[in-house]
Each structure stands twice: as C-alpha cells, then as structure tokens.
Amino acid sequence: MKTSLRMIAALIMAGLPVTAQEVPGVTDDSISIGVMGPFSGNASSYSKAQVGMMAYYDKVNAEGGVHGRKLVAIPEDTACDPSKGLAAAKKLIYQDKVFMLHGNSCSGVAVALRPMIEEAGLPWLVAHAVSDSITLPLARNIFHGLPTGSANGRAMAQFVLSKPDTTRVAIIEHSNDWAHSYSNPAREYLAENGVTPVAELTMERGQTDATAQVLKLREEKPDFIIAAIYEAETAIFLRDLDKYGMGDIPVMGTAGTDLENTLKRVGDFEAVKNYYVIHSYVDNLDGPKLQPVRDILAEYAPDEELSTFSFVSIGSAKALVAALEAAGPDLTREKLISAMESIENFETGVLSEPITWSATDHQGVKGSAVAGFVDGKPTVLRAWNTPY
Amino acid sequence: MLMQLTISGISQGAIYALIALSLTVVYRSTTIVNFGHGDFVMAGAFLSYVLVVLLGVAFIPAAMLAVVAMFLLGLAFSRGLIRPIRGGPHIGFALMCISAGYVFRGIARIVWGREVLPMPRVFEIEPIFIGDLIITGDAVFIISITAIMLVVFFGVLALTDIGKMVQAVYQSARGAQLIGINVDRFNDFTWGIGAALGAIGGILIAPISLLHPDLGASFLIKGFAAMTLGGFGSLYGAVLGALILGLSEQYAGAYINSALIDITAYLVIVLVLFLRPHGLFGRKTVVKV
Amino acid sequence: MMPTASQLRLRTILFWAVPLLLLALPLSTNSYVQFIANSIVIFSLVALGFNFVIGNLGQLAFANTALFGLGAYGSAILVNTFGLPWILSIPLAGLAGAAGGFLASAAALRGIRLYYLAIITLAFGELMRWLYVHGKSVTGGTDGMGVPAQSIFGVSLTDDHAKFYVFLVVAVLLFKSTLNLLRSRIGRSVMAVRENEVATASLGIPTARIIVFAFMWSGFVVGCAGALFALHTSYVFPESFGMLHLIVSFAMVLVGGLGSVIGSVLGAAALTILPEYLRSFPGMEELFFGLIVIAVLLALPDGLASLLRKLSPIFVERYYRE
C-alpha cells in the first residue's frame, strides 16, 4: 500500500513542470547573482569592475528587469587572496545559493576557484580576470566575457610589430601569473614573426625604483618595450625611463592601466607620451560612443571615480542580460548556458570586438584595440599611427 | 652604469636609513622592535597627503605638521598601548605593534577607498648632469634632506643636554633612573621620535612611489635588514647598513638578475646573522650555553 | 587552582568526547560552513605547532609559515609528481616540516635569540616563498599547483564534509601526541629551557638537543597541517604563505593563549570566524582585526584560555605535579 502510494506520488511529481522555486537563486521576481571581487586589500581598485556591472544591473532593474525578475547582486570580497576567494565562492554557492556567478578581477583567485566552481556546475561569467586557464580547457559552465590574456598579449605584440622597423623588443614584467598571462602570448606572437626579445627583466610589485632595470635597458637599446606591470609600478617605470633619457622609446602596457590614470600618476606628459595600453573599448573613455555607459555609471554609481576598470565588465553584463532574456521566463541554469552559447557577434557598444560564444569556445572576445596619446589626447588605435 | 647605480643606491639607502634609524631609536631604549613600523611610515606619508591635497596646505608646513602629528601619535601609542602590557610576554609587544599598524592601514583604506593616490611633485629640481651621469632631482632632494636630518640627529645626540640624557638611558636604564631620569616618560619620548623619523622617511618617499595603504610593508623588512647588517642597536650601524643595503640591491639587480632586488634584504639578513650575528657595529648578544 | 583527580578524569573524557560529538557536525552544515570548520581544524594545528616554539619553548621563531608552506608544497608535489595518494603524503609532509624546523633551529643553536631570531626566521620564510615563485618547474611558480581529486578506500574526498573526517582524525592524533609530549620528561625540559636556559643546562639536560627537538616537533605538526591545507584548498599558491599568514597565525597564538594547547584551538576558531563575520564590512577588516587584537592584548594578556581557566580548573594546563 505504502509502496503504491509512493509510486503514484513519484509519477505526479515527474509530470509537474519545473517550478522556479526549484532552481537555486531564482524566484518569481528575482535572480540572485554572486559577484566576487577584490573589494579590500591591495588590489581593491580593480573592484571598480564589479561596481560598474552592478550599476548596469540597477539600470536593467529600473527598466523592469528580465522577464519581470530583478537582478539581485550579492557581492563578496575576495581581497585578491585565493583562500578568501574560496570561502567567498562557497558562501555564495552553498549558503546564499545564488543562481550564477558573475565577476572576479584577480586571475590568481579565479584559477584557484575553477575546479570547485566547475564541480558545482552553476554558470560563471568572468568579467575582468584575464588568465586563459580559467576557461581553457573548456568547462561547460565557465565563460569569459572580455579579451583574455592571450588575446591581449597577442594584440600587444601585434601593435609593437606594427611600428615600422621594430626589431629589438624588450620585456619587463612582474613574476606572477597575471603578468605571464600577457607576456607569454606576446612572446609567442613575436616568435611567430621571427623576433626574440633582446632583454627580459623583472620588476616586482611594491618596488619604488626601477633604476637597475632601466640602466640595463639603456645598454640594450630596444625599439619598443613591452611592460606587463601594474598601475603603480608602471608610473614608476615610465618616470625612471624618462629620468635616464629614454623617454622616447615607446612602451606597450596591458589592460591593467589606462592612459588618463597613468598620466595623473606620473604627473608629467613628457614621460607618458610614448605609452600605449590595451584598450578594449570602441572609443576613448570620455569619447562620444561611450556616453551611454557613462550616463549609466553616473546615475547608478554616482560616487565612483571612473577608470578603465569601471567599463570593462559592462560588455559581459550586457551579453548576460541578452542571454537571460533569450532563456525565457522558465529560467534554469541549463537554459542560460545554452542561451549564452548561442550568443554570436553580439555588439556590446562598449568592447572593441563583439562577443561570440559557442559550445566549443567560451572565450567570448578575441581581439583588442590599443590606446595611445595622439596630439596629446588619448586615442583608440588599430595599429601604429592608425586610428580606430 | 656603476656610478649611476651608486647614486640610485645611495638615494634608496637614505630612505632605508631613516627607517632603520627610527626603529633603532625605539629599540635602544625600550628593547622593543616595532613590527608595525612600516605602517607608521605610511601614516606619516598619508597625513602629509591629506594636508597638502585635501586641505591645501603648502608642502613644507604640511610636512612639518605631519611629523609633529606622528610624534604625538608615537607618544600616545607608547603611553596608551605599550605601557599597560609591560608585564605580559615580551612577544606581546610585537603583536601590539603589528595591530596598531593594521589600525593605521585600516583607517587609510577606509578614508581613501580603493584609489591609489598620486602625491603631487613638490619641487621641480632639475637633474644634474656630470658627463654620462644623471643625478635626478629626486635623488638630490632625498639625499640632502636625509643628510641634514642625520647631522641634526647625531649632533643633538652628542652635543646637547637632551642628547646626553638619551645616551645615559641607552647605556643603562637603571642607572639613568638612579640619577632621576624618568625612564617611562623617556620611553614615550623615544617612541615619538621614532614615529617622527619614520614619518620623514614616508614623506620623502611619497612623491616617488605612489600612496597606497600597503606602502609600509616592504620598507619594514628593509629597515630590519639594515639594522641587522649594521648591528642591532647601533645608531651609526643602522645608517651604514641601510646605505650598504641600498647599494647591494641596485648592484645585484643590475649585474646579476633583476629578480634579486626583491630578496636582497632577506639574503642579507640570513647571511649576516649566520656569519656575524652582531653585524658591523653591534654588541655581542649571542647566548651560548 | 589545580584540578582535582576527578576533574582530571573529566578532562580526559572531554578530550575524547568533543571530537566524537564533532563527528556529527558534517550532517548539519552546508559546504560553506563546513569549509570554515575545516579551516578551523587546520589552523588549530598551525597554532599548536607555532605555540610549541614560541609558547612552550619560548623562542621567538617566526618560521611557522615557511614550515606550513613546506608541508603544503611537499604534499602537492608528492601527489602530483610522484602520484602518491594524498593520505600517505601527510606524514611525509610532516617530515618535510620537521626538516625545515631543524634548519630553523640552527639559528637558535648558534645563540641567536629574541628579535634576531624572529627576523632571521622571518627572512627564511620569505626566501622560501621566493623559491616557490621562481622554482617553476617543481612548484608551478606563481600559477600554483593543483591537487587532484582524492579518495580513500573508494570514498571520494572532493566534498568538504568528507575531508572533515580525515582532518579531525589527524588533528586529534597530533593534539594528543603534543599533550603527551608536554607531560613527558621532554616536554618538561622544553619548558625548563624557556624558564631559564642556563639553569637547565646546569642540571645536565642537553639544552641544544631539546631546542632542536622542539623546533622539529613544531615543524612536524605544522607540516602535517600544510598537507591538510593542500587538500582543503585543492590548490597551493605562493601567496598563501607570506607575511599575512604569519601575522594571522601569530595573532591566533596570542589571542588563544601563549603556551596553551586549548588556546591554540580557541585562537584559531576566533580568528577564522571573525573575518567571515566581517564580510559585511569589506575594507573594514584590517581595522577591526587590529582593534580586536589590541583589545584582547590589553584585557586578556594570557589569551582566551585564561577565561576558560577562570571558569573551571579543568582547563588549567600544568604539566607537573605539585
């Protein structure tokens, strides 16, 4: 008797449609999204990316949300530390039971989280961290919504070689995963084009002086220097280059800095005029094409001082919202993943290249533009002396 | 290149000298090593930033105000947080210093949010060119200010009454007490001096490096290495050790491998303590049973 | 106030009863809470090992983080490069830690004391970290080393709940051994050296050997904890073994109670749970951490363990009979 009752119950349950309550993080009027970022600690300026995307969520919510559901961001601090990041991720997944994850600025943390998140299976859209090993090899639920280190590294090397008569290239970098995620693909690209670096130098985080490195470079006389170092160290390096009379050598930086901030830090245009950065956007940060984004940030994050980081995650946020719309009101994690994999040539209006995901490739953005000072103004460039 | 590296090494070494000296001043009278000193240095730099950028005070008065403020802070720290735990385990002091440093760092981070702040260029001193050699404006500024500070410091120590009192306490705290010197208040005073000297170091480095709350961490180790090399507790040794450290970092970084700059300080510590624990000028403090 | 005989019996019962009760913990937690609980177990061991040297032996040696890293990397390398099952790597990681402790003790043996010792062991730790970063072929460099999924006797160890059982057993074993050591002749010699090295030597006790032993035992405990940590985070990074970790473990020892075995657990629990509660105030953690530690240092110079001692004589840790 009991067995047959159980069987009837099971049959009934199997026949019922999946209700929203059974999908973690989804209710009738909300979708919870775990947003991890370095809100404290020495990488905390990177969390502008998370602030930017949460501002975008607020805008979407103000316009009614997605299929009547508001996007509820649950921020958690990783402090750019793998152990803390692990605790943050576990809290979001197992305690807060979020629907998905979107965010992360620190590659070191993201790489450490990958096995655990892959196992947990919920969708994870990486918005700022660039390391390729987060999405390679392919994991069903993990996506990159911005150019990765390899895309950026190759773009850097490509720009360097686009300057005529460039044969002597030097590389200076931090000895960490972030720097290598740029410099190794750059080296590959250079090698493919028959160029071997004439000097490979290290500058550690926290160093306040680059004299030794600059003097070594002075001996090697490079045509172009590739610098995979963070904001603070970049300012110091550029200043030291200028001090020792090498300010005419162009320097190619990463996506970890932007021209305006670097100029502000160095305080001297002469030292910065030959500095180029990866600029993954369609326009200058204060250019007309990015006005809509600036409006959103001004309205929903008014106290935030903008930098390049504030914009970088908006592209992935837009793509995510589009995928959530496409997945329909009967939202499940599976459906979202399928919807994301159907995104093709999605123009974000922010990133310089469109986003394309497929079932075999979750690295959505394959290229990047470069920005440099042209006539004293930051300008987006496609190649040496070639505006976008 | 050698001369260029030497100038740079002396300039770096000058900053380390201020930090090592400030650590030693406190150590000599209290036998406490301020493990949070890096953050005291950072606090001095931040105070001057607040005064210059947010309150519009001119640089020199701002710097002086910041130094005085840090002096008072050091005094208060000694009075309020060190004296009460004097009876506890010696190791407790180390943690108290670290925790105070954390409080400074925490306040800096909250107030300045998530930004990295540029300190505006103070003086535009033109670099001096001697042949192939470039002596940068920064180097001139740092080396000259530090040299002046050191001359004043050692001058006061050797020539004035206060200086003689300091020497008395350094040589024998008990003896000093016997002749009526209030050692407790003296210790507060030395904490103040230590904090003030550290603040000067921070103010000098601020325009060059960028201001962020974690500024102090790396300087602490350099200070330790300088003290170890010069001999723990020796004031002259701290300065000399700091200069040698600054030079070694530059030479090792340029001639051997730029990856070494970061760990030169640690290597110095390990080598010195193994080969000659009392450094160059320290007293023999080896305990053999 | 010393515990009476019946209180001592109660203490023994408690020592075994608490872990037995904890066996039921995984049944009521989600993975996040379990992860935190696992962290507490591991850091109790870290604090225990650290306490042995700075509390029971009384030497200001800050090599703890270096030894922890040796154990973690040792375990990760054994599992990855040599294919050893993780569970077997635990004692080997402990031995690696002990070897590191031996190296660290060399400084103490040369007569280096107090702040010199603190600084040289600190430098030793940072040099180890530099090695992890630059020894890329062996350690994976800054990319870190992953620890692949493990299982014992067919039971999978990927879940935090499953890991807890192994961690608990290892912790109980190491705690019991340490307590036994402290109550034994060796332990009393260790503490005698702390009180007065010269007097102890004059009694004919080989103080040099005692010092080396204490460092090595501390290294063994912390090395084993390192192996547990490698599985706990499934990834070993150089950054995990830097100054920040040293400061936190130092704070755990002092907040819990210098020289107190139960203090190690209390300090680890307090300073693991605290940051999680402070999650609601990002950016305020350093400030709160500093203020709380200062408060504890001022109000409870003998740590949280002293509070327990006031509650009941059961918690008095004297290792000799009066």
* SS3 sequence of C227-273: HHHHHHHCEECHHHHCHHHHHHHHHHHHHHCCCCHHHHHHHHHHHHH
Q: Contact A209/B8, CB-based, under 8 Å? A: yes
Whether B218 sits inside 8 A of A44 (CB atoms) is no
pLDDT given for residue B122 in this prediction: 62
The minimal CB distance from A232 to the residues B8, B212, B213 is found for B212
pLDDT band at B250 (very low <50, low <70, confident <90, very high): confident
Mention every residue, 6+ apart, whose C-beta is less than 8 A from residue A203: A172, A173, A174, A210, A213, A229, A233, A237, B258
Which of these, A152, A32, A54, A30, lies nearest to A103 by C-alpha position?
A: A54
Nearest by CB: C30 against A44, A77, A95: A95
pLDDT in tens, B45-67: 888 888 887 788 788 888 889 99
What is the spatial distance between Cα A384 and Cα B6, in angstroms, rounded to a whole number? 38
Mean pLDDT of chain B: 83
B76–C contact, CB cutoff 8 A? no
Q: How many CB pairs under 8 A join A and C?
A: 80
Confidence of residue A161 (pLDDT cuts 50, 70, 90): very high
Mean pLDDT calculated for residue range A184-191: 93
Closest partner residue to A265 (CB to CB) among B12, B134, B210 is: B210
Average pLDDT over residues A283-300: 89
Look at residue A356 and tell me whether its pLDDT is greater than 90. yes
- Partner residue facing C234 (CB), from A88, A116, A180: A116
Q: Residue B120: pLDDT band by 50, 70, 90 thresholds? A: low
Q: Is C160 on the interface with A (CB under 8 A)?
A: yes
Q: Are the beta carbons of B258 and A206 separated by less than 8 Å?
A: no
Percent of chain A whose predicted confidence (pLDDT) is above 70: 95
- Write down all domains in chain A, each with its CATH number in brackets: 5-148+288-366 (3.40.50.2300), 151-282+370-387 (3.40.50.2300)
Q: B119, B123, B261, B266: best mutation site toward chain A, by most A Cβ within 10 Å?
A: B261
> Which of C116, C208, C298 lies closest to B232 in CB terms?
C116
Whether B288 shows a pLDDT value over 70: the answer reads: no
Using the Cβ of C234 and the Cβ atoms of chain A, whether some distance falls under 8 Å is answered with yes
Is the pLDDT score of A320 beyond 90?
yes
Instruction: Identify the pLDDT of residue A22.
Output: 78
C5-20+33-315 fold: ABC transporter involved in vitamin B12 uptake, BtuC (1.10.3470)
**What are the tokens at B20?**
């090592």
Q: Do A112 and C237 touch (CB under 8 A)?
A: yes
- Count the neighbouring beta carbons within 10 Å of the beta carbon of residue B85: 17
**Residue pairs spanning A and B at CB distance below 8 A:** 88
Q: Where are the alpha helices (DSSP H) in chain A?
A: 2-15, 48-62, 82-90, 107-120, 149-162, 177-192, 211-220, 231-243, 259-266, 269-272, 291-300, 308-312, 314-327, 333-341
- Using the beta-carbon criterion (under 8 Å), do C118 and B94 form an inter-chain contact? yes
Considering only CB atoms, which chain B residues are within 8 Å of C293?
Answer: 95, 98-99, 102
Percent of chain B with pLDDT strictly greater than 70: 93
Note the pLDDT of residue B121.
63
> Tell me, what's the pLDDT at B114?
65
Please answer yes or no on whether A236 and B12 come within 8 Å at the CB atom: no
Contact state of A207 with B250 under an 8 Å Cβ cutoff: no
- Residue C168 has a pLDDT of 94
Q: CB-CB: which of A39, A204, A239 is closest to B261?
A: A204
Please report, for chain B, the start and end positions of each structural domain, with discontinuous segments joined by +: 2-275
**A67-76, A348-357, C184-193, C233-242: range with lowest mean pLDDT:** C233-242
Q: Low-confidence residues of chain C, pLDDT below 50?
A: 322
**Is 80 exceeded by the pLDDT of residue A388?**
no
Strand, helix or coil for residue A300: helix
User: What span, in angstroms and rounded, lies between the C-alpha atoms of A50 and A60?
Assistant: 15
Structure confidence by residue, pLDDT tens digits, B180-234 = 778 788 888 889 999 999 999 888 887 777 777 777 887 888 898 898 888 888 8
The band of B283, judged by pLDDT with boundaries at 50, 70 and 90, is low
A128: pLDDT confidence band, cut at 50, 70 and 90?
very high
Q: How far is C301 from chain B (nearest CA, A)?
A: 6
C251 to chain B, minimum CA–CA distance in Å? Answer: 7
Interface contact A175-C285, CB threshold 8 A: no
Instruction: Sort out which chain B residues have CB atoms less than 8 A from A305's CB and list them.
Output: 115
Asked if B258 has any chain C CB less than 8 Å from its own CB, the reply is no
Domain parsing of chain C, residue ranges: 5-20+33-315
Cβ-Cβ contacts under 8 Å, A44 against chain C:
283
3-class secondary structure, A97:
coil
What CATH topology corresponds to B2-275? Answer: ABC transporter involved in vitamin B12 uptake, BtuC (1.10.3470)
Radius of gyration of chain B (CA): 19
In this predicted structure, what is the pLDDT of residue A216? 86
C127 interaction partners in chain B (CB closer than 8 Å): 263, 266-267, 270
C282–A77 CB contact, under 8 Å: yes
Out of B33, B259, B274, whose CB is closest to C115? B33
How far apart, in whole angstroms, are the C-alpha atoms of residue A51 and residue A367?
Answer: 24
For C315, what's the count of Cα atoms within 13 Å in the CB-facing half-sphere?
19
- Residues from chain A that touch B250, judged by Cβ atoms under 8 A, are 211-212
Tens-place pLDDT, residues C128-171: 888 887 777 777 777 778 887 777 776 777 788 889 999 999 99
The shortest CB-CB distance from A236 to any of B209, B214, B217 is to: B209
Checking if the pLDDT of A12 tops 70, the result is: no
The alpha carbon of residue C64 is apart from the nearest alpha carbon of chain A, in Å, by 18
Contact across the interface for C239 and A108, Cβ inside 8 Å: yes
Q: Rounded to whole angstroms, how far apart are CA atoms C241 and B107?
A: 25
For B42, C47, C118, C258, the CA distances from C60, given in Å and listed in that order, are 26, 14, 5, 12
Determine contact: C279 vs chain A, CB below 8 A. Answer: yes
Q: Nearest chain C Cα to A131, which residue?
A: C143
Smallest Cβ–Cβ distance between C283 and the set A39, A111, A116 belongs to: A39
pTM assigned to the model: 0.86
Is C139 part of the contact surface with chain A (CB cutoff 8 Å)? no
* Confidence tier at A20 by pLDDT (50, 70, 90): very low
Nearest-Cα residue of chain B relative to residue A257 = B116
Going from the C-alpha of A279 to that of each of A253, A383, B97, B114, B182, the distances in angstroms are: 10, 12, 43, 22, 63
Residue C112, pLDDT score: 67
**pLDDT value of position C199:** 85
- More confident call, B4 vs A222: A222
Mean predicted lDDT score pLDDT of chain A: 88
